[in-house]
Amino acid sequence: MGSRASHIALANAYDGITSAVADLDDLDLQRSTRCRGWMVADLLFHLLCDAQRALVALASPAEPPATVDSVGYWHSFPGGDGNVRHAWWARRSAAAFDRPSEVVRLWADTAPAAVRAAGNADPAGFVTTQGHVLRVADLLDTLTTEAVIHHLDLVLDLPDAPLPGPAATRVAVATVDALLGGAVTRPDGWNDHHYLLKASGRLPLTRPERGELGASAIRFPVLG
């Protein structure tokens, strides 16, 4: 995607998360999510760390060429014990706040700042994050994809919360399509959000779905 489109998508993703959590009280912020062991406040803290990382990355120009793009970036995370340790660290860090709503306040300050920084970034520029060099637009697309997936995680026990917006969802779907090696013919009843939940392993494939997916089924999930 172009840098402007990527900026719009990131704004859509972060605004959507803000809308989902802005009016939650401290009890609602302790509801369950799709991320094992994380309450809403814990997952929001993880997203806050992403927004903070975006601010650092956008202030960290790098020389080309890029080492990964918005798809190859996802191949660099082996998962396993590192994910478990991060999950425990995020949970303990979120618990250090006096109240869960303090995480919301910090998110509401940080996320718009990251979006503004993205809008002011050199559209032809390259930045560095997590040991990679990426085009600015690719960095923004990775942030958007993660935000959309985690937005869907966030609202598991929040039935009245809004779902991710269309511009952000399109980026996440395009990323998953590319990771799967091309657009997949989806089983009946899969909308974009359902597709993302299946492709990220949040919802397991049923036997009929595996039958409809055919050879593509073995590639699920492609994101953890």
Interval 192-218: pLDDT, tens: 999 999 999 999 999 999 999 999 999
Instruction: Sort 97 into a burial class: Cβ within 10 Å, 0-12 / 13-18 / 19+.
Output: middle
pLDDT given at position 78: 58
pLDDT given at position 80: 55
58 pLDDT more than 80: yes
pLDDT level of residue 96 (50, 70, 90 thresholds)? very high
- The answer to whether the CB of 134 falls within 8 A of the CB of 70 is yes
Give the residue-averaged pLDDT of 119-135.
96
Between CA 15 and CA 11 the distance in angstroms is: 6
Q: How many CB atoms lie within 10 A of CB 125?
A: 16
Spans of all domains in the chain: 3-219
Domain 3-219 has CATH 1.20.120.450: yes
pLDDT given at position 77: 73
